[in-house]
Amino acid sequence: MSDSRKTRFAALAVVASAALLIAGCSGGGSGGGDAADDVEHVYIDAIQADPSSFNPQLTNSPATTAFGAAVFDTLVGITAEADIFPMLAKSWEFNEDNTTLTFDLEQDVTWHDGEPFTAADVKFNFEEIMEFQTYGAPLVNSIDSIDTPDDHTVVLNLNSNYGPFFETLALQVLIPQHIYEGTDYVTNPANMAPIGTGPMKLESFSSGAEVVLVKNEGYWRGDVKVDRAIYPVMGDTNTRALALISGEVDKAAIDASQLDQLVGKPELVHLEGGFFAQGVVVEMNARNEYLSNPEVRALVFSALDRDKFASAALAGYGEPADGFFPDSLGWAKDESIDFAKDFPYDPDAINEGLDAAGYPVGADGTRFTLNVKYISNLTDTVAIAEQAKSMLADVGIGVNLESVTSEIFTDQVYVQNNFDLAFLRTTVSSDPGLGIARWYACNPDNIAARNPSGICDEEIEAAVDGANSTPERAERAAFFADMQQRAKELIFFAPLVWTNASFPSVNTTRWDGLVEPDADTSTGNLNWLTMTWKG
């Protein structure tokens, strides 16, 4: 038997064992079912790889974020429309001059180990943990000091306005002071054996096999409808697709090329809308001899046929980007920018432009060659990189494709800056100050998931700083418009297509409530409290 077939059968064996649980396991008084229904209510979600951590405050990855949203809670939540709602903070209030912000916490909340959740936990997270999270540092920097007059009150003494304060706060899960205080946060064993206040608890983790969560019986928000959630590791996309279509898993991320297999099967649904917009972007290294010229960068970007990426590389399950912001951030999007007009795909004009820029086609048929990096297991970026090679060849630009792991990509693109072009899947987030501006602002320390171009522009810095220093949306929109106009002039980072790029799909045979998120479902997590078991 080949290695790939062994992997497939091993993965399906895990799912088969989970199916036996569904068919015959007693709820054992779990409270997940009706009185006449003693079947354990199991949700199964095929994942592509092991999570490297279960603590999203210290590790930035989609898998860690997803598990973190099940195990932990936040002070406030955020909807897909960027509306803020109460979570562990049941209410909050500013003083008259907005220099203090007081949170009133939920009472009778306990951590999974039975210890009480208190204001001391919140203070510990603000003072010790949030700065490590991808977006947390600016939020923490806007706070001078923190008071906790009692176990259920937290007072933040602020030193400045931070525009996306609550949007950032909604991304900060809270971890227990009594588990982390006095330890090395990064190496604390609890990162792989998390203790939270969330709806689900970690039961077991078998590397390369599965993650198992069980319901938090005493969850403070209400009764959790899922008794057990099983996440079998299925690295092969064909295995995931087979398991999804057959109903052996309830959810899986599959390739765009496989989505047509869902057509005509009403129980199978592709989740076209992500909680926040996702996109595939191109990053350019302005340290490169050729790409140091913004005119050349503009011509390279124009040579990338965004319409073809959407229709071919993404099999029609994407939209070509028409500007720097997606429509989901319409309040901040500069509608005067139109990529189709500003960077038209016209190979003849692009060839003329490159000739005029002083880069004629040489004897080998190329003007110059670029090294292109992308992550090997992201099928959308793989397809786009391969198509980009052909598109750039049409205008005399050679391409060396370098498919690498996520870890190598991070090191070579962001730390070593050893790339010319890079294709990346990224999530926009709920506010441009969080998910977009970081790609344009200065990054002198070569921080990962930030602008790797080598460009540090004063106009962009002023626009980003201005947008992040006021809570007024109209003022922020004007600053973001300035940023987009300057980004158009410099063109070193830009979206190519908008899409729910991991192509998550669900089989609704066993569960209702998998398709549309609840209004109060934070960070795109499952509807643990409202999912309905169908058996």
The pairing of strands 42-46 and 228-232 is parallel
The Cα 493–Cα 453 span in angstroms is 8
Q: Given this model, what pLDDT does residue 412 score?
A: 97
Q: Given this model, what pLDDT does residue 6 score?
A: 38
CB 438 within 8 A of CB 464: no
CB 197 within 8 A of CB 70: no
Q: Given this model, what pLDDT does residue 464 score?
A: 96
Q: Which CATH number fits domain 3-71+198-274+502-533: 3.40.190.10, 1.20.120.640, 3.30.420.40, 3.40.50.2000?
A: 3.40.190.10
CATH of domain 278-498: 3.10.105.10
Q: What are the tens digits of pLDDT across the range 33-43?
A: 444 457 899 99
**Could you tell me which of 111, 113, 50 has the C-alpha nearest to residue 125?**
111
HEC profile of 212-230:
EEEECCCCCCCCCCCCEEE
Low-confidence ranges of the chain (pLDDT < 50): 1-36, 523
| Residues 6+ positions from 262 with CB-CB distance below 8 Å | 245, 268, 269, 270, 505
Residue 36 token pair: 């006449």
**Could you tell me which of 41, 17, 30 has the C-alpha nearest to residue 226?**
41
| Residues 6+ positions from 473 with CB-CB distance below 8 Å | 331
User: By CB neighbour count within 10 A (0-12 exposed, 13-18 middle, 19+ buried), where does 348 fall?
Assistant: exposed
**Could you tell me which of 523, 524, 520, 510 has the C-alpha nearest to residue 225?**
510
Q: Given this model, what pLDDT does residue 124 score?
A: 98
Strand partners of residue 506: 251, 269
C-alpha dihedral sign at 12, 17, 18, 23: positive
User: By CB neighbour count within 10 A (0-12 exposed, 13-18 middle, 19+ buried), where does 269 fall?
Assistant: middle
CB 283 within 8 A of CB 452: yes
- H/E segment holding residue 45: strand 42-46
Q: What are phi and psi of 138, to 5 degrees?
A: -60, -35
The Cα 309–Cα 306 span in angstroms is 5
What long-range pairs does 268-272 form, CB within 8 A, spacing at least 24?
Answer: 268/244, 268/505, 268/506, 268/507, 268/508, 269/505, 269/506, 269/508, 269/514, 269/515, 270/317, 270/503, 270/504, 270/505, 271/500, 271/504, 271/505, 271/506, 271/515, 272/317, 272/500
**Could you tell me which of 41, 8, 6, 74 has the C-alpha nearest to residue 523?**
74
**Could you tell me which of 445, 496, 430 has the C-alpha nearest to residue 283?**
496
Strand partners of residue 46: 252
Give the three-state DSSP class for 200.
strand
Q: Cα angle vertex 49, ends 212, 387, to 5°?
A: 145
Cα dihedral 246/248/251/257 (nearest 10): -30
Shared fold status for 3-71+198-274+502-533 and 278-498: no
The Cα 384–Cα 308 span in angstroms is 9
| Residues 6+ positions from 444 with CB-CB distance below 8 Å | 456
**Could you tell me which of 528, 531, 527, 524 has the C-alpha nearest to residue 66?**
524
C-alpha dihedral sign at 423, 427, 428, 433: negative
The Cα 361–Cα 461 span in angstroms is 37
Q: Given this model, what pLDDT does residue 33 score?
A: 45
pTM of the full structure: 0.80
Q: Given this model, what pLDDT does residue 314 score?
A: 85
Q: What is the mean pLDDT of the chain?
A: 89
Query: What are the Cα distances from residue 425, in Å, to 54, 249, 265, 364, 529?
Result: 21, 25, 29, 33, 30
The Cα 461–Cα 245 span in angstroms is 48
For residues 50-72, one letter each, b for 16 or more C-beta atoms within 10 angstroms of the residue's C-beta and e for the rest, the string is bbebbbbbbbbebbbbbbbbbbb
Q: Given this model, what pLDDT does residue 271 score?
A: 76
Q: Which CATH number fits domain 76-180: 3.40.50.620, 3.30.750.24, 3.65.10.10, 3.40.190.10?
A: 3.40.190.10
The Cα 372–Cα 499 span in angstroms is 22
The Cα 125–Cα 130 span in angstroms is 6
User: By CB neighbour count within 10 A (0-12 exposed, 13-18 middle, 19+ buried), where does 7 fall?
Assistant: middle
Q: Cα angle vertex 430, ends 197, 188, to 5°?
A: 35
The pairing of strands 278-284 and 268-270 is unpaired
Residue at 295: amino acid letter: E
Q: Where exactly are the structural domains of the chain?
A: 3-71+198-274+502-533, 76-180, 278-498
Q: What are the tens digits of pLDDT across the range 334-345?
A: 999 999 999 999
Tokens 């917009």 found at: 277
